[in-house]
Chain A
């Protein structure tokens, strides 16, 4: 099983749609979970951290399921500007270990 796996997409959705991304990770000892956004040929930008209790930031909601080793990102009311690749990142082990990134899921929001 790969360390961090994501559905590669692409997801093509109309403006206003709700879209969900999933990510699984292999090491149950991982403690830190993030979603990053990456625009074409740009650096990853931190979108949000993911906590066990789930967290929301405007139209974005992230959830963590430790039992299933699964994290998710939900985008509501998607905008054209949400078009990007969404990367899941998980620290490789407990403590301050490097982040391991998934390959990303590409989202295209169309008018």
Chain B
């Protein structure tokens, strides 16, 4: 069964770039859409961006100017970069797989990583 594991530094300094990687195991990254979603402490969920294994990407306009998502199919990994971080970027960051059902892709998520906490320090 497919499992996702987020990795990256837990502490990032304000104004620097946050970099995270999601490793897919138990299955292939190919043929699916993959997202990054974050959850600030005690708050709700915010979708950040998705990427298809072919490299096609889409971003949340609220973050688009600072965010980049990429995929490395040879390693079954996809990655997120968030530039110019502030305290508002402190959150639990999840990677997740979009559903492929009946020959269609849907943009809800059926497999999630456990999440990685990122704290932005001043």
A and B co-occur in one complex = no
Interface residues of A (CB under 8 A from B): none
Chain B residues within CB distance 8 Å of chain A: none
